[in-house]
Amino acid sequence: MNDSGIKTEDNVEPDLKSRASFSTWAEVSIRYSDQDSMGHVNNVAIAQYIEVARTKLIYGLVQQFDHKSLEFVLAHVAIDYHKEFHYPGTVDVGALILRVGNKSLTTGYGVFLGDVCVASARSVNVFFDMATRTAIAPPDNVRAILLAEAGQS
């Protein structure tokens, strides 16, 4: 485990600016409306691109099981902007699990225009029971698959 609490192979944190770090991808179209008055893609649009990959990653793992009331909520997100980019085009957003906590999940992202990383991010999601509206520990079978994906098993 490294200083930030992220367990990785050989205690090396994944490089979120490298395409090689990711196996889950979401392709997102850059919309004309994603531009701001400076003529580049706005930070809010980049957050939406990351949301596409975040939901694809987590739902792709969690929805394998029949836990209808289990959801996750975004508790924290930090985005680093590395390079401006413009409409038109598409970006590839890589997603991975960095850490599985008792009731939370830390994930990492890289937003790529071709081979260039234009933004990277981390988020913390909390498992949430829709019936009781409270944070909960994920069921054992969900936790096991998340730990395996994170390399923590």
Distance CA 18, CA 115 (A): 8
User: Does position 149 have pLDDT exceeding 80, yes or no?
Assistant: yes
Taking only the tens place, the pLDDT of each residue in 93-134 is 999 999 999 999 999 999 999 999 999 999 999 999 888 899
* pLDDT score for 66: 83
Please say whether the beta carbons of 118 and 109 come within 8 A.
Answer: no
Q: Which domains does the chain have, with CATH numbers?
A: 24-150 (3.10.129.10)
* pLDDT score for 67: 79
Cβ burial 67-101 (10 Å sphere, 16+ → b, else e): eeebbbeeeebebeeeeebeeeeebbbbbbbbbbe
* pLDDT score for 10: 56
Distance CA 14, CA 134 (A): 31
DSSP letter, residue 114: T
* pLDDT score for 4: 38
pTM, whole model, 2 decimals?
A: 0.89
Nearest to 119 by CA among 88, 150, 77, 74: 77
